[in-house]
């Protein structure tokens, strides 16, 4: 007699892991972007771009970071810049959300697998909301990008004398880069040449702020802008913390750099305030710079490290640990200091599962950043403050740099590329995707409390 067949009860059932599909989709997008950017047609010189430079650029674009190892304005041809713009748009909206949007446009339906993938990538959206999510994300993105592109087009055309075609391209590229919090610019000095021009800086800031709020917040504001009492805890946290951080960042940067002759010192007072506000907005994960970041005071770098690490709103184009994670940890701390039993925010009790998620995100992100800093310091001879700034900028998908990126060896480029990838997808998504086992525990161990603090 043969060996008896394994019964269904003993067979293992493999459950799908959408997190793995999301990670794989981003990795495939980076790989395809790298391959295309390496083509001779993508470079202005007509030569093949170095693999590591192409990989770094593709990763930076897909992860909407903005860090560069070659000059976007002079190295890449028009075709290469179009590819970068496409990677920014796809990466900013999200690979799975982009696929869902295309599927709805072409077939007017979305498969269950597509919904699961989109839910996993969006993180905070319910399964039933996916169809409306894809449509609304696409609509909001196009409206904001079109409005920003129009304002920038008019300024480039009438204020700086660019031709119509060039003004259209400059307006479109910087509008998409702004809304997706990418920070790629088509000028060799980024936006330093427009530091005192509010007609360039303010539309870009507005697009960055809107994109950084997160799509769930934007969709709720679109439906219930006049009914704040109906806003969810997520919407209230994102808006309130974002406003506080924008104001605090503006004051911090402006005050510290007010008399620095290498940054704000040689501008008039109005321009100094504009630049301080502009750079505060950029720390929300955008990455444009209207002054030389390498010339800022060390104390300013530290403050910007904190702002970049926090980032923007969840389920959007921003990076960092997200303002909601920061707010949740603050309220957990406040509750513990008060000796209360549960955390309450805006009259609602916070789920204990959120406590664990917030702590996990912070600990994992610190581990990724510090491991990268140590590795970069072992590879290079750069000082700690600059390496830390670069690592936090990469993890937060910000793109601000003190100027050290251009001279990094290829191992350091790989480390920053990995950090950008982790920062864009989030440490929890990465951890879930590569978890060895996914099982439910049917029992509990005895409870005991160690001494803390």
**Cβ(268)–Cβ(286) under 8 Å?**
no
- Rounded distance between C-alpha atoms, residue 126 and residue 119, angstroms: 7
At residue 414, the 3 state secondary structure works out as helix
Residue of 141, 174, 142 whose CA lies nearest to 156? 174
Residue ranges of the chain with pLDDT lower than 50? 1-2, 5-16, 99-108, 110-113, 116, 121, 124-128
**Cα–Cα distances in angstroms (integers) from residue 24 to residues 29, 58, 83, 96, in the given order:** 9, 15, 20, 11
Catalogue the E-assigned strands of 322-453.
Answer: 344-345, 348-349
Q: Which residues pair with 349 in a beta bridge?
A: 344
Give the pair of three-digit tokens for residue 118: 């989109």
**pLDDT score for 332:** 93
**pLDDT score for 351:** 86
**Cβ(80)–Cβ(42) under 8 Å?**
yes
Give the pair of three-digit tokens for residue 178: 């702004």
**pLDDT score for 419:** 95
**pLDDT score for 68:** 94
Give the pair of three-digit tokens for residue 399: 């793109």
- Rounded distance between C-alpha atoms, residue 23 and residue 117, angstroms: 10
Residue with tokens 């590569």: 434
- The DSSP annotation for 289-354 comes to -SS-GGGS-HHHHHHHHHHHHH-S-SSSS--SS-HHHHHHHHHHHHHHHHT-SS-EETTEEPPHHH
Alpha carbons within 13 A on the beta-carbon side of 274: 18
Query: pLDDT for 231-248, tens place per residue?
Result: 989 899 999 999 999 999
Give the global pTM.
0.88
- Rounded distance between C-alpha atoms, residue 63 and residue 133, angstroms: 21
- Rounded distance between C-alpha atoms, residue 167 and residue 156, angstroms: 5
End-to-end CA distance of the chain: 65
User: What is the number of helices (H) and of strands (E) in the chain?
Assistant: 19, 2
For 214, residues 6+ apart whose C-beta sits below 8 A from its C-beta are 234, 238, 312, 313, 314, 315, 316, 318
Q: Chain-centre distance of CA 355, in angstroms?
A: 22
In this structure, how many other beta carbons lie within 10 angstroms of the beta carbon of residue 391? 26
Alpha-carbon torsion (111, 113, 114, 120), positive or negative: positive
The domains of the chain are located at 18-433
- Rounded distance between C-alpha atoms, residue 152 and residue 159, angstroms: 10
For 8, residues 6+ apart whose C-beta sits below 8 A from its C-beta are none
**pLDDT score for 181:** 92
């Amino acid at each position: 007699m043969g060996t008896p067949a394994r019964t269904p009860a003993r067979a293992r059932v493999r459950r799908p892991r959408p997190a793995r599909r999301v990670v794989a989709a981003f990795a495939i997008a980076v790989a395809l972007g790298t391959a295309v950017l390496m083509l001779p047609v993508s470079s202005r010189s007509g030569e093949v771009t170095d693999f590591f430079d192409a990989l770094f650029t593709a990763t930076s674009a897909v992860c909407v970071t903005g860090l560069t190892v070659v000059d976007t304005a002079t190295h890449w041809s028009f075709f290469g810049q179009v590819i970068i713009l496409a990677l920014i748009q796809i990466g900013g909206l999200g690979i799975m959300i982009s696929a869902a949007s295309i599927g709805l446009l072409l077939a007017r339906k979305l498969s269950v697998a597509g919904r699961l993938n989109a839910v996993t990538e969006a993180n905070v959206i319910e399964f039933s909301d996916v169809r409306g999510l894809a449509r609304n994300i696409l609509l909001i993105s196009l409206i904001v990008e079109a409005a920003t592109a129009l304002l920038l087009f008019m300024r480039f055309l009438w204020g700086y004398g660019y031709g119509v075609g060039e003004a259209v391209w400059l307006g479109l590229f910087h509008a998409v880069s702004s809304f997706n919090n990418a920070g790629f610019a088509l000028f060799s000095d980024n936006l330093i040449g427009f530091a005192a021009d509010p007609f360039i800086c303010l539309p870009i800031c507005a697009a960055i702020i809107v994109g950084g709020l997160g799509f769930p917040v934007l969709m709720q504001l679109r439906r219930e802008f006049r009914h704040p009492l109906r806003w969810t805890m997520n919407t209230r946290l994102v808006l309130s913390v974002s406003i506080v951080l924008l104001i605090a960042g503006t004051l911090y940067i402006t005050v510290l750099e007010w008399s620095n002759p290498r940054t704000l010192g040689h501008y008039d007072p109005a321009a100094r305030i504009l630049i301080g506000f502009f750079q505060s907005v950029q720390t929300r994960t955008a990455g444009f710079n209207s002054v030389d970041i390498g010339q800022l005071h060390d104390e300013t770098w530290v403050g910007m490290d904190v702002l970049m690490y926090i980032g923007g709103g969840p389920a959007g184009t921003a990076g960092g640990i997200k303002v909601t994670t920061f707010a949740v940890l603050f309220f957990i701390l406040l509750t513990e200091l008060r000796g209360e039993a549960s955390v309450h925010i805006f009259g609602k009790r916070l789920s204990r599962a959120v406590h664990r998620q917030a702590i996990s995100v912070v600990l994992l992100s610190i581990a990724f950043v510090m491991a990268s800093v140590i590795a970069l310091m072992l590879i290079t001879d750069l000082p700690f403050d600059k390496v830390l700034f670069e690592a936090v900028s990469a993890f937060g998908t910000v793109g601000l740099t003190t100027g050290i990126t251009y001279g990094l060896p290829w191992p350091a480029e790989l480390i920053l590329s990995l950090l950008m990838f982790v920062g864009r997808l989030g440490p929890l998504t990465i951890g879930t995707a590569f978890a060895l086992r996914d099982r439910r525990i049917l029992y509990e161990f005895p409870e005991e409390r160690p001494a803390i603090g």
